[in-house]
Amino acid sequence: MPTYAIRFVRFTGRLSSALAAVVTLAVVFLALIVLTDGAGAGLVAWLTTLGIGAVLAMWWGRRRTWPARLVPFLPVIVAAALTAAVCVPTVPTSRRYPPSLPFVAAQHWSLATGSRVAVYHYPPANSGPRHPVPFVYLNGGPVRGISVLDHRFLQLLARQGYDVYTYEQAGGGRSDLLPMGQYSISRSVRDLGAFVDRLGKGKVDILGFSSGGVVLTRALADPRVAARLHRAIIAEPGPMDGPTAHIAGHKGRKSARGLAPAMPGPRSTHVPRYAVAFGFMRLGLLAPDTGLIGQAEGDNAFTAAALGGDTASAYCARDAHRIPAEDNAHNFSFSPAASLRIQQTVKDSPSIASRLRRSRTPAMLMIAECSSQVRQWATAVLARDPAVRRTQYMPGVGHHMWNGLDDNNGRAVAVITAFLQDEPAPLPNSPTRADIPAFLRDHE
């Protein structure tokens, strides 16, 4: 074999060994991140990995001459440089709240539960009849700021004569953070009751969307909170309790997930620190209160683009190439850790079915044709809550039913106002309780 070929083979072998060493050290570092739960912003894992690498490098180079002893340290240095990026924050570590919106002022209310939440009020904006019962909106998230798209929808309801209030749940948007251990679905329900008490206008009509629908469903099963509610609209709910959360079922008709263009803007999940933190939290390898990143830093880092296909899944496949901008970069706010924490408390909660069967608050269920939610999450509410008076299956829309496309906002308003005013439903009452088996069997 020619000399140059021998040299090339040796070089390739040494390069492969060096790359294998770098990868091995990186894997050791990630394993230690999990084992230490990211202690010290990841520095504990980083220093331990560096120490292990240095000891091994000294052992491999013990029989070499002095200059050659440094060679085994090169993979250690490379691995240390690569993994150090996971330990260095690239955004402020104290909470950076969104700036004020130009069209509505955020008030801050301190609730009896200890939560301090951002509140938005849209008074009736028409010259016609005004509805005497205040209207409250609970957004999805679970811990997410209210999008500009939702604000526009609430303004539309105010123009129908409704006195509209909404608040960002604790930790979301402009609301104050809670200690991570205090986030729970039961706390969210107590906050709702405390908010209605703080409003001080008697019973309220309430619309709960997505995870907000979960809070509302559980509020209907709690007599103390349900006593404050006049009428309830549950739109596209998530699972209401642990048994429901573990149901494996089908979803609605095809959504735009995988079809829509990628969301524009920077992705926090492309930054090593946040890719590791958010990815491991989602996989359950890191706790929501991990020492790798604090709650405030995670909130500051998370971007709308990092939601990826989750946004597209809220729209029908036919709308894949015309999904509206739901929010702007300055107003967007999402707390991944607090959201995961609340979702876990739902999964860990016992069944509320027996309590929900005693509900007497008139309720309506809204289901989207192209829903990204498991159908049994909605039908479980319909089956268990005897006070659900009507179900409105919304054709041509995905999970985010009021999305500004075509006449979708107007149709949602018509369905909501008809129920609140006890008028005939604009759509058939479907599915009914008796229709649930056929609805699920036919994969509607």
Give CA 201 to chain center in angstroms.
Answer: 30
360 pLDDT above the threshold of 80: yes
> Predicted confidence band at 128 (pLDDT cuts at 50, 70, 90)?
confident
Handedness of CA 200, 206, 211, 217 (dihedral sign): positive
The string of pLDDT tens digits covering residues 362-379 is 999 999 999 999 999 999
Is there a contact between 312 and 260 (Cβ–Cβ < 8 Å)?
yes
* pLDDT interval class at 278 (50, 70, 90): very high
pLDDT single digits (tens) 100-121: 999 999 999 999 999 999 999 9
pLDDT of residue 8 exceeding 50: no
The model's pTM:
0.92
Cα 208 to chain centroid, rounded = 15
pLDDT of 177 over the 90 cut:
yes
Residue 405 CA, chain-centre distance (Å), reads 23
Residue 170 tokens, joined:
């604790």
Distance CA 57, CA 351 (A): 56
Q: What is the pLDDT of residue 63?
A: 61
- Distance, CA of 320 to CA of 307 (rounded, Å): 16
The rounded mean pLDDT for the chain is 91
What is the Cα–Cα distance from 326 to 311, expressed in whole angstroms?
9
d(CA 170, CA 215): 13
| pLDDT confidence of residue 56 | 80
Least confident range from 138-142, 259-263, 430-434: namely 259-263
Give tens-digit pLDDT for 225-235: 999 999 999 99
Spell out a b/e string for 220-251, using b for 16 or more CB atoms within 10 Å of the CB, else e: bbbeebbebbbbbbbbbbbbbbeebbeeeeeb
Mean predicted confidence (pLDDT) in 298-302: 95
| pLDDT the model gives residue 402 | 96
Domains and CATH numbers, the chain: 3-87 (no CATH), 107-262+316-441 (3.40.50.1820)
pLDDT of residue 11: 46
Residue 265 is predicted with a pLDDT of: 83
| Residue 380 clears pLDDT 50, i.e. is over it | yes
Per-residue b/e over 20-38, b at no fewer than 16 CB within 10 Å?
ebbebbbebbbebbbebbb
Question: What's the rounded Cα separation, in Å, for the pair 19 and 1?
Answer: 26
Q: Is the previous residue joined to 431 through a cis bond, with omega within 30 degrees of 0?
A: yes
pLDDT grade for 3, boundaries at 50, 70 and 90? low
Share above pLDDT 70 across residues of the chain, in percent, rounded to a whole number: 93
Reported as half-sphere exposure (CB side, CA atoms, 13 A), residue 237 has a value of 28
393's enclosing H/E stretch is: strand 388-398
pLDDT tier, 309 (very low <50, low <70, confident <90, very high otherwise): confident
Those residues with Cβ within 8 angstroms of residue 58's Cβ, 6 or more apart along the chain or in another chain: 69, 72
Q: Does residue 393 carry a pLDDT above 60? A: yes
**What pLDDT is attached to residue 20?**
78
Report the alpha-carbon distance of residue 376 to residue 238 in Å, rounded: 9
Give me 108's structure tokens: 């801050």
pLDDT at 424 over 80: yes
Cα-atom radius of gyration of the chain, to the nearest Å? 26
Q: Does the pLDDT of residue 6 top 60, yes or no? A: no
Q: Is the pLDDT of residue 7 over 60?
A: no
pLDDT at 71: 63
Inter-CA distances, 390 with 137, 194, 363, 415, Å: 19, 28, 7, 10
For residue 116, the cross-strand partners are 110
* Rounded average pLDDT over 18-42: 88
Counting residues of the chain whose pLDDT is more than 90, the rounded percentage is 77
